[in-house]
Amino acid sequence: MAMRITPSILNADLADLAGEITRIPSADGLHVDVMDNHFVPNLTLGLPVVEAIQRHTELPIDVHLMIDDADAWAPRYADLGVHTVTFHVEAARAPIRTAREIRRLGSRASMALKPATPIEPYADMLTELDMVLLMTVEPGFGGQKFLDLVLPKIRRTRELVKATGQEIWIQVDGGVSLETVERCADAGADVFVAGTAVYRADDPDEMVVALRDRAIAACGH
């Protein structure tokens, strides 16, 4: 199981996104949080900024939609050609249809769950997904403390994914650091979003490598 680090630009210098992206060449992808001040109490980036970011990086872009009306907006981000589009199941009225539309447009389909949202009701639709994002903080703001209560859900999700026989990534987002990444990897996560830990480090790229090494060590690789 490969371990992937996808730094979040939420904690980067938003006035110099192009420059901030060049500081993490070892990253496996770039996590872009889209917030609408409705689904979550914060407002960040939208379609034009994501399109602009694409012109400044070769890294796979992972768009995380923390917005209302995910069914309508997710395909528009997939239409940009980003690598992955993640929508929140709590904001989707037709998650299977949305996932299929994302895939039809050429992006990987990913579904996010808030910490209190159980995975079990969605077990039968895992095969419609390429990734599941399990929030390890309440969505909306960077710099929050990691919620250990999500660890059992990561383990249950890994078992459900194994049962499908398919390669479905499990991503965690929120409070990921050198202190928590090992616990997430041990529980079954293989994609790690880190914002504060990376962009507040003296050397962000060195932190990307260190986080990946910790995750690999936790799995005994």
Catalytic residue among 28, 62, 173, 190: 173
Per the annotation, the verdict on 148 as an active-site residue is no
Q: How far apart are CA 129 and CA 143, in angstroms?
A: 28
Per the annotation, the verdict on 205 as an active-site residue is no
In whole angstroms, how far apart are CA 16 and each of 9, 12, 13, 42, 214?
10, 8, 6, 20, 29
Amino acid at 84: T
Annotated binding site for a divalent metal cation, which residues? 31, 33, 64, 173
* DSSP letters spanning 87-127: EEGGG-SSHHHHHHHHHHTTSEEEEEE-TTS-SGGGGGGGG
Annotated binding site for substrate, which residues? 8, 64, 140-143, 173-175
Annotated binding site, which residues? 8, 31, 33, 64, 140-143, 173-175
Catalytic residue among 28, 33, 62, 190: 33
Active site residue ranges = 33, 173
